[in-house]
Amino acid sequence: MKIIYLIRHAKSAWNDSTITDYERVLNKRGLKDVSFMAKRLIELNFNSGLIICSPAKRTHQTLELIPKNIPILFDSSIYEASLNDLTGLIQKLPNEHCEVSIIGHNPSLTYLSNYLTNDFIDNMPTCSIVKIELEIDNWNEIVNGIGIKKYFIYPKAFN
């Protein structure tokens, strides 16, 4: 069995029109939400063996506050990824990692969650996390509907 965590970056600032989308940083609420969700992950026994993160500024900042002492890879294909980009990335993951996290963007993470589980999510809000169990032995075995959504959490769900 394999487990994948899909983590959408936290809320980012839109108030500076001089920076690109790629360079946008987290706003005050985003920083607060990441800290809150990091605690939820600890409570839920987060055990990812590898984190793959979009190199965009806001995903990088989201990563900084998530509990980790594990390998981190930055992959530019996650930024503005299609569903095919993400499934291709997953299929190439090293099989020695049973639990992997992807920190990225919408709508591609929502599409990926829906593809893997056939359990429709309308939208993964900022700082949301979906944990999916996959009944596979090797990452290259992923197909539509192979996963079971174990949880879907986000900051506003706790209010």
- For 62-100, the DSSP string reads HHHTS---S-EEE-GGGTT--HHHHHHHHHTS-TT-SEE
H or E stretch covering 102: strand 99-104
Query: Does position 7 have pLDDT exceeding 80, yes or no?
Result: yes
8 A C-beta contact, residue 81 and residue 105: yes
pLDDT value at residue 159: 77
CATH for 46: 3.40.50.1240
pLDDT digits (tens, 9 = 90+) for 35-70: 999 999 999 999 999 999 999 999 999 998 777 788
Counting the structural domains of the chain, the total is: 1
- Angle among Cα 42, 43, 45 to the nearest 5 degrees reads 65
Segment 118-145 mean pLDDT: 97
What is the predicted pLDDT for the residue at 51? Answer: 95
* Nearest alpha-carbon partner for 9 in 154, 122, 115, 147: 154
pLDDT digits (tens, 9 = 90+) for 95-108: 999 999 999 999 99
Burial 50-68 (b: 16+ CB within 10 A, else e): bbbbbebbbbbbbbebbeb
Tokens read off for 76: 């530019």
The pLDDT score that the predictor gives to residue 67 is 73
Mean pLDDT across the chain, nearest whole number? 94
| Lookup result for tokens 């690109």 | 20
* pLDDT range class, residue 14, cuts 50, 70, 90: confident
What domain range includes position 15? 2-158
Beta bridge partners of 141: none
Copy the structure tokens of residue 26. Answer: 């987290």
